[in-house]
Amino acid sequence: MDFSAECAPCLLRRILFQTRLVDPSREEEVMSSCLSLVAEEWEPGVRSATLATKVHRLCYDILGVDDPYAALKAESNRVAFSLLPRAEKLVEGSPDRLSAACLVAIAGNVMDFGIGGYEHPEELRHLFDDLVSQEPEPNDIEPMREILREAKEVVYLFDNCGEIVLDIPLLRELKGMGLRIVGVVKGEPIISDATWEDLSTSGADRFLDERLTTGVFAVGLDLERAPKDLREAFQRADLVIAKGMANFEALSGTEVKPIAHLLRSKCQPVAKAIGAKRDRNVIRVFERGA
């Protein structure tokens, strides 16, 4: 997905949010530098994830931190664990367990701070029941189900901390189908995304047959810098399940297919690009040849 005019203020709001998490006294220095970088690097056709990666790298370097979201990530996991029994009960009682598990996984996607009005994990506690009651728009659950019926191996691209806990019901459903699951987390801390340590902290590792990382500091993932084992996993997979907006931004228009995007459309550019309205649950499948 290309970087658009509306992406610029959204990205800079996130930079301001994470700067204030670390050192509010440096917000003018950080914002000035990041604004200059956006102006220098923004040209027609630049991908949103690519430019965002460069801007976040600069912000982290100026602040001298590896993980400005560390405390929020821990809190996100705590809140998600408190909701997990409710989520599992919802899936177990549903006549369509796969669809219900997808809705639970999508609800966790609101744990993405500094954009879309979300600033603290506790917000999900109050939003959860409403989120899982909303039918996805678009809703490609049937194409996803058809692919899974014939599939043997799935690559699952995790997104945020907290959210990874609420991926567990869907991972359990996929294992119940007899699928081999390759789970992928970020190679380095970036925004509130899950990394290697979060696989065991969340318990998601119990449902994985193989564990990989994106290998580098990147918003979503950078296919050009992706490790060989990840690129090989993409080639083997019968379906890639990609959580969150950043993975859509990074993978839209690529040859990674078939792919099922599960996300909350928290911004207008992503909503428009994926064919949704803003603030909707989204299950969108792109098949080979599409």
In Å, what is the CA distance from 179 to each residue of 49, 141, 147, 176, 229?
30, 17, 12, 7, 19
**Does the model's pTM come out above 0.75?**
yes
Q: Domain boundaries in the chain?
A: 7-63, 70-286
> Each residue of 71-118: pLDDT tens digit?
999 999 999 999 999 999 999 999 999 999 999 999 999 888 877 666
Per-residue pLDDT averaged across 198-227, rounded?
96
| pLDDT(289) > 90 | no
Q: 18-22, 161-165, 286-290 — which is least confidently predicted?
A: 286-290
For residue range 144-165, list pLDDT tens digits in order: 999 999 999 999 999 999 999 9
Residue 112, pLDDT score: 84
- Give the phi and the psi of residue 213 in degrees, each rounded to 5: -125, 165
Contact by Cβ (8 Å): 157, 184: yes
Q: Give me the pLDDT at residue 178, please.
A: 97
Pick the CATH number of 7-63 from 1.10.4160, 1.10.287, 1.10.8, 1.10.3470: 1.10.8
* Mean of per-residue pLDDT scores for the chain: 95
Residue 279 has pLDDT above 70, yes or no: yes
Where does residue 151 fall: left (phi above 0), alpha (psi -120 to 50 degrees), or beta otherwise? beta
Model confidence at 38, in pLDDT bands (50, 70, 90)?
very high
**SS3 state of residue 247:** helix
- Mean pLDDT on 196-221: 96
Between 288 and 234, where is the model more confident? Answer: 234
CATH topology of domain 70-286: Rossmann fold (3.40.50)
Pairing of strands 259-264, 281-286: antiparallel
Half-sphere exposure of 97 (CA within 13 A, CB side): 15
Q: pLDDT band for position 232 (50/70/90)?
A: very high
